[in-house]
Structure 1
């Protein structure tokens, strides 16, 4: 009797479990059908045709186009200092003069000898016309005149070496000199850096080698002036790649308004490369899985997932190189909960795509939009 009771109890429990499992799966299936039938509200936009460009970001060091150390070519005591640290000087301006009394006296002697040699030669030439002296004597006096002229030039040069002048216009650096100090040959007087456009040295990755060319526009920023952007253009390209970094060294000319930029300054560069017309969509519409990017598009109230190839980026927007057409309706909100085949209710989002005001819907006529940054 007890055995029959246990069997009956087991059968009852088994039947209850079967009913529970059936109800659970039935309700889950019914809920899934309900969800499938319920359309999801999504925002969509159509791609915009815009002119985009690749950009290279790099860092570089600023230097003057002309920068030298002013040094003394002769030894002597300083008798004049005609500049202050940080002063803007003109080309040819006298900066330092050394004591030149001996050099000045030597020049006077050389000039006197030159005048005497010239008088003797002119007298001999007139006598030669009358055959009063020989041609050999005239030639000797001509040689003496040429030697006197060379000695006068040499004395004048030695005197000029006592004057240190600015070879080009620029800004003089710090000095550690005073009147009366003695300079030896090769001693540094000060530094001189040219004003105006500055050179910015940086490198471009080899994958952009075919797109880099002289004259391309760029912008640069520095922590010294965080609120300012300095404009420039690419001026020189290196002749060979660096074998270790696989980059091409280049030089850019950066505008230097008011002379605020100084040599040695560290700058971040944004170089604009190729420009092209392409489709642009909001960056928020893109889903990334591994190395692939996807978007959802709506076809007759049904969502479907499309694989896309992305190009340049700009804050808030991204170029689609392939995978979309101009007429596609791209989902920009709620796509993370969508699956291909889900029903959707379309809501146009007029503010989802933020591009240049001159950009137009794909297929229309318009001007360039904001350019993107190379991935």
Structure 2
């Protein structure tokens, strides 16, 4: 019996030991699988953190150049402040100068006749209504005579008509007779007006006609005939300016269609510019224009756009722009070749722009030198926008108010290219 009990106990011990061993083995296997699953996850997170640290380190890369005040002066270093400005587009257009047609006059005779005297010559500066040439003309004599005759007839007709009014009131004449005299008076009034208009077309002004009438009336009062027709017609200049053309001599017989003089005010000229289609958005009558001539490279002449063509040239694909240019000193001459710098400002829209000289190219990227301390200049990378004259818009990388090198930046870049490390020190 005892033997049987001992054997049973041994079997129970062996069974339980085997079970514990299996459970322990399963537990170890389970723990091992957990560690294997977690290992890759830790590795990826660590790599990601490493990349972030690397990117951060790259973004904080700082290139500096230390330069003493003495060296800054020797290298011509000038520091300015980056500021936002009104956007202004500037384009350069070629063209040619011409006379201001609004202040130019071609002078010819109003009548056929013979030149008896000249009062002006090439290069003379003449005033408005100044006598240029005197013409002896039978046509002018006839025009004066016709006018004086028409006036005499009108005066008689007026007296007859006034008498007819009085007689009609007294019923001394019939209505039919009164109307006949009224129509006759109206006809003579028309003839008188036409004769006066002919004199005006010859350049005779109202004051001169009144003077002619006054002299005629004076002779009539004395019982003399009104024979005041003057054959000499004075041709006057309609504008103030310089005589730039003359084609007439004394004794010459002239016709109305011939141009005898050209007078033009040269204090202003026209610049005819040829703008391309792509330039049209940057051109308006409010644009500021500076005219430059090769003969005077250091001078600028202010101008104002007065006309922009509504059509495009079919062959050249250009648009005509007319600019009125001031020429007070008389330096500019018609037919000179010129350049027009057209600047169009858009007020109210400010953007950050710096001198193009401040921007340098290093390793294929655009950089600007920023003054961090009194003698320390840091390199910053910038993205560029549109070019505006000699300035460039900064789209990214620079803040308003930062102190930047606006002159001498090339010397700083040249010094950096000599250095192999990220920092340099120059005494």
Superposition TM-score, scaled by structure 1 size: 0.66
Q: 166, 184, 187: which one pairs with 1:144?
A: 184
CA radius of gyration, larger in: 2
- In 1, Cα distance between equivalents of 2:336 and 2:262: 16
Q: 344, 357, 374: which one pairs with 1:283?
A: 357
- In 1, Cα distance between equivalents of 2:80 and 2:108: 67
Q: Is residue 201 of structure 1 aligned with residue 272 of structure 2?
A: yes
Cα 1:58/1:345, change in 2 over 3 Å: same
- In 2, Cα distance between equivalents of 1:177 and 1:302: 75
The answer (yes or no) to whether the contact 1:218–1:270 under 8 Å persists in 2 is yes
Alpha-carbon deviations, 1:157-182, whole Å to 9, x = none?
Answer: 44452553333333332323233321
The answer (yes or no) to whether the contact 2:369–2:404 under 8 Å persists in 1 is yes
- Aligned runs of 1:153-164 on 2, under 5 Å? 153-160=193-200, 161=202, 162-164=233-235
The answer (yes or no) to whether the contact 1:235–1:253 under 8 Å persists in 2 is yes
- In 2, Cα distance between equivalents of 1:274 and 1:184: 53
Alpha-carbon deviations, 1:183-223, whole Å to 9, x = none?
Answer: 11311111122454332221333333233222322211224
Q: Tell me the residue number matched to 2:141.
A: 101
Q: 286, 290, 295: which one pairs with 2:367?
A: 295
Number of equivalences: 306
Q: Is residue 234 of structure 1 aligned with residue 301 of structure 2?
A: no
Deviating more after overlay: 254-263 vs 118-127: 254-263
Q: Is residue 255 of structure 1 aligned with residue 290 of structure 2?
A: no
Q: Tell me the residue number matched to 1:58.
A: 93
Alpha-carbon deviations, 1:257-295, whole Å to 9, x = none?
Answer: 155544333322111123644232562642289xx7633
Deviating more after overlay: 88-97 vs 115-124: 88-97
Q: CA deviation at 1:302?
A: 12
Alpha-carbon deviations, 1:6-46, whole Å to 9, x = none?
Answer: xxxxxxxxxxxxxxxxxxxxxxxxxxxxxxxxx99676978
Aligned partner of residue 341 in structure 2, secondary structure: strand
Q: Tell me the residue number matched to 1:311.
A: 386
Q: Tell me the residue number matched to 2:38.
A: none
Q: Tell me the residue number matched to 2:83.
A: 49
The answer (yes or no) to whether the contact 2:245–2:263 under 8 Å persists in 1 is no
The answer (yes or no) to whether the contact 2:292–2:339 under 8 Å persists in 1 is yes
Q: Tell me the residue number matched to 2:40.
A: none
Deviating more after overlay: 240-249 vs 322-331: 322-331
Q: Is residue 112 of structure 1 aligned with residue 186 of structure 2?
A: no
Q: Tell me the residue number matched to 2:284.
A: 213
Q: 254, 258, 266: which one pairs with 1:187?
A: 258
Superposition TM-score, scaled by structure 2 size: 0.59
Instruction: Give the CA RMSD over aligned residues.
Output: 3.9
The answer (yes or no) to whether the contact 1:304–1:341 under 8 Å persists in 2 is no
Q: Which residues of structure 1 form unaligned runs of 5+?
A: 1-38, 349-375
The structure with more helix, counted as a fraction of residues: 2
Alpha-carbon deviations, 1:310-343, whole Å to 9, x = none?
Answer: 533666xx42432432359786436467499942
The answer (yes or no) to whether the contact 1:303–1:343 under 8 Å persists in 2 is no
Q: Which residues of structure 2 form unaligned runs of 5+?
A: 1-62, 68-76, 203-232
Aligned partner of residue 143 in structure 1, secondary structure: helix
Q: CA deviation at 1:64?
A: 0.7
Q: Is residue 271 of structure 1 aligned with residue 370 of structure 2?
A: no
Q: 397, 402, 406: which one pairs with 1:324?
A: 397
The answer (yes or no) to whether the contact 1:42–1:332 under 8 Å persists in 2 is no
Q: CA deviation at 1:241?
A: 3.5
